[in-house]
Amino acid sequence: MRKGENMQVPFVDLPKQIAPYKEDVRGVIEDVIFNRADFIMRDDLLAFERNFAQFVGTDFSVGVANGSDAINLSLKILGVGPGDEVITVAHTFIATIAAIVHAGATPVLVDVDDDYNINVDLIEPAITAKTKAIIVVHLNGRACDMDRIMGIAKKHNLFIVEDSAQGIGAIYKGKKAGSFGDLSTNSFYPFKILGCFGDGGAITTNDPDLNYQLRCLRDNGQDRVKGDILFWGWNSRLDNLQAGILNVLLKHLPDMIHRRRAIAALYDQGLSGIKEVKLPPAPNDGEHFDSFQNYVIRTKQRDALVKHLSAQKIGTLISWKTPNHHHKNLGLTKFHLPNTESISQEVVSLPMHPALSDEEIRYVIDNVGRFFKR
C-alpha cells in the first residue's frame, strides 16, 4: 500500500486536540458541576479573568459570552453610537463590522495589506470629523502594525479596539496583541488558538473604569455588590464552567503556540519552492511573532487546489470567499477594496492545529506539491 494512502487530514481535529487534556478537564468539570454546582460568575471565572489578563499583559480581563459580544459591548462602553464612524477592514469575520452597525454607527471599510492586516497607509485618508474609533483585526495570529496605529489614534483622538479573536499569543515588538488599544476583544470559539467547549469571549483592558463598567454591562447593567443598576445592559457572561476549562487549557497555551509555529515552519520549508504559491509573511521579522491561528497560502489556482486536496481527504478553509462588502443586503457595496477582493479569490488555509503530526503535515505538503507538479 502506498504510504499515506489511507490518510485523512481534517482542517481541525477537535477530539485529537482535546485528548491530551482529558483528565484535567474531566477533573474541573466534575468539580464545578458535581462538587460545587458553581455555574454563574464564580471563582473559576474570576481566576480565568486574572490568568488571561496576565497572559495578554493587561491589568484586567472581563469574560463575556463570545467574541462577537466582546466587540458589541466594547463599542457600547466607549460610547460609539449614531452619527459616529468606525474605521475597520472588510477582510475580517463579519462580527467585526456587525458590531459597528449594532452600535448604530457607520462602518468605514479600508483595504488590507499583503499580510492580510489593515493597510495602515489607508487609515488617515479615511478619517473624518465623525470618526470615533478604529477596530484593528489581528488576523490569522499576526499582530497589526500597532506603533503606527497607536500614533494615528493619538494624533486624531480616536479609540482603538483590537479585535484579537484570531490574535491570541501574537506579539508585536515584544508586546502581546490585545495589550495596545483602549479595549481588546477575544474569542474562545472551539477552532480558535485558545478554544473552549462552546462559545466564550473576553475583553482585555488597562483602564479600571472601563473594566468596572464592562463587568456591569455584561451583567444586565448591575453592580451586584452595591445593588445599583448603572445603565441598560445585557446578559453576556462567560460561563463559569467554560472559564474552568479555559484555566486548564491556558496553562498549555504557550506549548500549543510553539507547536503551531513549528508546523508553520515545516509548511514554509516544504512549500517554499512552489512559485505559484505565496506563503504567509515571515513570522520572525524582528517585529512580529506570529501565533498562526491560520496558515494561509495564496494562489491563483486556489479553487482547483482545494478540490484536489479535498479528493485527497485534506480539509481546508477559505476565509472569506465572498468579501463582506459584496453581500448585497449589508449596504456596504459602495466600498472598492482591490486587495481584499483579490485575496478572496486566492487565499486558502491549510490544516493547522497543535495535534497535527509531522507525517500529516508532510502529506499535505506532498499533495500541494503534486498539484503544482513539482
CB 29, min distance to ligand PLP, A: 21
Distance CA 53, CA 163 (A): 15
Q: How many CA atoms lie within 13 A of 170 on its CB side?
A: 33
Q: Do 213 and 187 touch, CB atoms closer than 8 A?
A: no
Q: Which is nearer to ligand PLP, 201 or 233 (CB)?
A: 201
Residue from 61, 68, 240, 340 binding ligand PLP (CB under 6 A) = 68
Q: Which is nearer to ligand PLP, 68 or 291 (CB)?
A: 68
Residue from 166, 236, 294, 349 binding ligand PLP (CB under 6 A) = 166
Q: Which is nearer to ligand PLP, 189 or 292 (CB)?
A: 189
CA dist 210 → 77, 330, 372 (Å): 7, 30, 52
CA dist 90 → 81, 173, 307 (Å): 20, 26, 26
Q: Do 45 and 75 touch, CB atoms closer than 8 A?
A: no
163 scored as a contact of ligand PLP (CB under 6 A): yes
Contact segment (CB under 6 A) with ligand PLP among 33-41, 62-70, 280-288, 359-367 equals 62-70
How far, rounded to the nearest angstrom, does the alpha carbon of residue 153 sit from its chain's CA centroid? 22
Buried b (16+ CB within 10 A) or exposed e, 48-80: bbebbbebbbbebbbbbbbbbbbbbbbbbbbeb
Site string for ligand PLP, 94-133 (x = CB under 6 A): -xx-------------------------------------
323 scored as a contact of ligand PLP (CB under 6 A): no
Residue from 189, 267, 289, 363 binding ligand PLP (CB under 6 A) = 189
Q: Which is nearer to ligand PLP, 222 or 339 (CB)?
A: 339
136 scored as a contact of ligand PLP (CB under 6 A): no
CB 119, min distance to ligand PLP, A: 17
Residue from 66, 131, 204, 312 binding ligand PLP (CB under 6 A) = 66
75 scored as a contact of ligand PLP (CB under 6 A): no
CA dist 223 → 53, 61, 108, 213, 237 (Å): 21, 17, 35, 9, 14
Contact segment (CB under 6 A) with ligand PLP among 91-99, 104-112, 219-227, 333-341 equals 91-99
Distance CA 317, CA 347 (A): 9
Q: Comparing C-alpha atoms, which of 325, 322, 262 is closest to residue 290?
A: 262
87 scored as a contact of ligand PLP (CB under 6 A): no
162 scored as a contact of ligand PLP (CB under 6 A): no
Burial of 200: CB neighbours in 10 Å, binned 0-12, 13-18, 19+: buried
Residue 26 contacts by C-beta under 8 Å, 6 or more apart in sequence?
none
291 scored as a contact of ligand PLP (CB under 6 A): no
Q: Residues interacting with ligand PLP, by CB under 6 A?
A: 66-68, 92-93, 95-96, 137, 163, 165-166, 187, 189, 199, 201
